[in-house]
A and B are shown apart, each in its own frame.
Chain A
Amino acid sequence: GAGVSQSPRYKVAKRGQDVALRCDPISGHVSLFWYQQALGQGPEFLTYFQNEAQLDKSGLPSDRFFAERPEGSVSTLKIQRTQQEDSAVYLCASSLRRDSLNNEQFFGPGTRLTVL
């Protein structure tokens, strides 16, 4: 594809529901990142994959958040038992090589999650 795609673009969930957010990175990109962006704030790092290996999940806010990238391409961020404080835009980014600030990140448009 031409860029990173994410689906759905918008998701409304009732408190307590589980949600799954999908990211399709640029084909061949080794690194994949998930970020959470609250209103008026910059993106905050959640987790990092190098191919299928989740090398860093230090930014996941609780054990209700889970991410996977089983075949080293598409990734899914799952949030269980959603809470109102989970409302945010979830951004996915990929880069060609392993994580380094020397590598440009390509971001998707994000999924806006609203928990009622």
Chain B
Amino acid sequence: LAKTTQPISMDSYEGQEVNITCSHNNIATNDYITWYQQFPSQGPRFIIQGYKTKVTNEVASLFIPADRKSSTLSLPRVSLSDTAVYYCLVGSTYQKVTFGIGTKLQVIP
């Protein structure tokens, strides 16, 4: 199982770009990298997923270097509503991944 390491917490001012890096040194060939966001009193919500290189959607970008041993979730111009916990998942099935404690992002006005 690929173990992930991500910062426990981060602070950012509104309008800044936020980058959250997740380390996964023992990622396997068929593993995907997936990020979820969770607000208080809600279930997690899918943000973005990738396998290699760069993926971008309307919410975020995901950067994955060639060795795939880490990945960076990039949130452009964060607002107060982006305050949440962000989870990095690495694996091939949800049965075998762990959410961990995630990264608690606090956006400051």
Contact = CB atoms under 8 A, between A and B. Distances in A.
Given A43-B99, A44-B99, A101 B94 contact: yes
Which 10 residue pairs are nearest across A and B when measured between Cβ atoms?
Answer: A107-B43, A42-B99, A101-B32, A104-B46, A99-B93, A43-B99, A56-B95, A91-B43, A42-B100, A107-B44
A30 interface: no
A100 B92 contact: yes
Interface residues of B, number: 25
A106 B36 CA distance: 10
Q: Is the interface of A mostly helix, strand, loop or mixed?
A: loop
Interface residues of A, number: 25
Contacts of B91: 101
B36 to A, nearest CB: 8
A100 B43 contact: no
Contacts of A105: 36, 44, 46, 94
